[in-house]
Amino acid sequence: MRVLIVEDDAELCGWLQATLSKAIGTVDTVSSVDAARAALAVAKFELVVLDRRLPDGDGVQLLRELRALRPRPGTVVLTAWDDPNEIADALNNGADDYVGKPFEPAELIARARAVVRRCSLDQGVSVEVGNLRFDVKDRCAYCNDVPFMVPRRELAILELLIRRIGRVVLRETLNAAVYSFDDEIESNAFDSHVSRLRRRLREAGCSVTIRSIRGVGYLLSSDASE
């Protein structure tokens, strides 16, 4: 899952990025409405966490544009404004939830996950292929119903592959799910993540295969279908 944070307070933005990347997935940050538009033009986000008071305008401007996207990302508005009319304005313009500053990390994470579920971005409770099961809600992998640990970047690859089981996922699409705009990507880093994920699945006893489609991308399938 990929998240876009639109917040001009650098300290808060860094804290949000650290908090949400641990709990949800890859996180990109921008500090203005125009920068958010640019990010949305080149990447797909499942969730947008949006401040209202931005240097180039009110975040509500962006909400109206997000409503037209297909698929539409979930939206959580963050703001210090507590006027009921301002809250109603944001909700009426497409916000899925509204969190007032200050807030607790657990509350933000819970609300963000709830928004994603309500927007139907989490299809079902879990996805299964062979003896591998991926819990979409908790982002946890199981083999024969026994959980096993998958690091964050490998988990992002696994999540996207299992959500599109039986279909080739473009390398560029997987890269976008794994790395944020600010990440420094070393040569062959992505291939190393795929290699480690394959080994991790094999060591856990999963009856699945990650196939490389030369020059295109990757495909996850059950060994029984080979």
Q: For Cα atoms 152, 134, 136, give the angle at the middle one, nearest 5 degrees.
A: 80
| pTM attached to this predicted model | 0.64
- The pLDDT value recorded for residue 33 is 93
Contact (Cβ atoms closer than 8 angstroms) between residue 218 and residue 169:
yes
132-135 and 74-79 strand pairing: unpaired
Burial bucket for residue 99 (CB in 10 Å: 0-12, 13-18, 19+): middle
More confident: 167 or 155: 155
Same structural domain, 71 and 147? no
More confident: 202 or 101: 202
pLDDT in tens, 183-210: 777 778 899 999 999 999 999 999 999 9
Domain of 157 in residue numbering reads as 126-225
Where helices occur in 119-188 by DSSP H, the ranges are 152-163, 171-178
Q: What is the CATH number of the domain that holds 167?
A: 1.10.10.10
Domain end residue (candidates: 67, 83, 118): 118
Question: What pLDDT band is residue 71 in, cutting at 50, 70 and 90?
Answer: confident
Average pLDDT over all residues of the chain: 86
Q: Please report which helix (H) or strand (E) contains residue 39, including its range.
A: helix 33-42
pLDDT at 171 over 70: yes
More confident: 126 or 16: 16
- The pLDDT value recorded for residue 122 is 47
User: How many domains does the chain fold into?
Assistant: 2
What is the rounded end-to-end Cα distance, in angstroms, of the chain? 28
Q: What is the CATH number of the domain that holds 25?
A: 3.40.50.2300
Calculate mean pLDDT across residues 146-151. 93
Same structural domain, 146 and 173? yes
Highest mean pLDDT (candidates 1-5, 67-71, 84-88): 1-5
pLDDT in tens, 5-54: 999 999 999 999 999 988 888 899 999 999 999 999 888 888 999 998 89
- The pLDDT value recorded for residue 68 is 79
Q: How many CB atoms lie within 10 A of CB 141?
A: 24
Where helices occur in 68-170 by DSSP H, the ranges are 84-92, 105-118, 152-163
Q: How far apart are CA 169 and CA 8, in angstroms?
A: 34
pLDDT at 138 over 80: no
- The pLDDT value recorded for residue 194 is 94
